[in-house]
Chain A
Amino acid sequence: AQKITQTQPGMFVQEKEAVTLDCTYDTSDPSYGLFWYKQPSSGEMIFLIYQGSYDQQNATEGRYSLNFQKARKSANLVISASQLGDSAMYFCAMREGVTGGGNKLTFGTGTQLKVEL
């Protein structure tokens, strides 16, 4: 079963508009973390934002915010005031603990975002 589900293979948004990228997750670990990464066409992976499972408030980092709905197991990324440079692939990821104290980090299939003039 998929641990991280991103149901939008591609999205278009107009410059200066806000866009929401969907992510749902599945875990039985009560202590987990959720990440969003951006991968531009150059291929590098850029960390955007993090939400811990016990965090009471939704995470925000500049124009990025994470809409965390724990009961629904969703962690959607909201990008406000889109810019042309936001065009990229976006990945949602989840950290779970493993026996021995380590971390397992699982990614979704990604959403390709295209920002248009």
Chain B
Amino acid sequence: DVKVTQSSRYLVKRTGEKVFLECVQDMDHENMFWYRQDPGLGLRLIYFSYDVKMKEKGDIPEGYSVSREKKERFSLILESASTNQTSMYLCASKASSGQRNTEAFFGQGTRLTVV
């Protein structure tokens, strides 16, 4: 069974803390993604990576950074958490596809609350 695992289901952090969200996939996928999901705004892409040590900014990278030291792991880092980063964070992974149908697989999500 394919799996994308996020390290925490719920997190509560204080303003100004450095926060790490971890995501691990066991499918040997090249591509990994971090999204945040907010009501009415859908899934917004924060960062993505298509290879080890490669990273690309998504649509809302401000206040975030990422790390991909190994193919299976993609970490999202909030350098100094702020209350407007309170959200549901979703990790996904996907094989590179050309025109083939390769769906993205999602983790269970991390509900982060910054107080």
Contact = CB atoms under 8 A, between A and B. Distances in A.
A40 interface: no
The SS class assigned to the A binding surface is loop
The SS class assigned to the B binding surface is loop
Interface residues of A, number: 29
B101 A102 contact: no
A33 B97 contact: yes
A31 B31 contact: no
B59 A105 contact: no
Contact of B50 (A54, A55, A100): A100
- Chain B contact-residue range equals 20 to 34
B41 A109 contact: yes
Interface string B58-81: 110000000000000000000000
Interface stretch (B11-19, B20-28, B104-112): B104-112
Contact of B103 (A35, A43, A104, A110): A35
A30 B51 CA distance: 23
B104 A44 contact: no
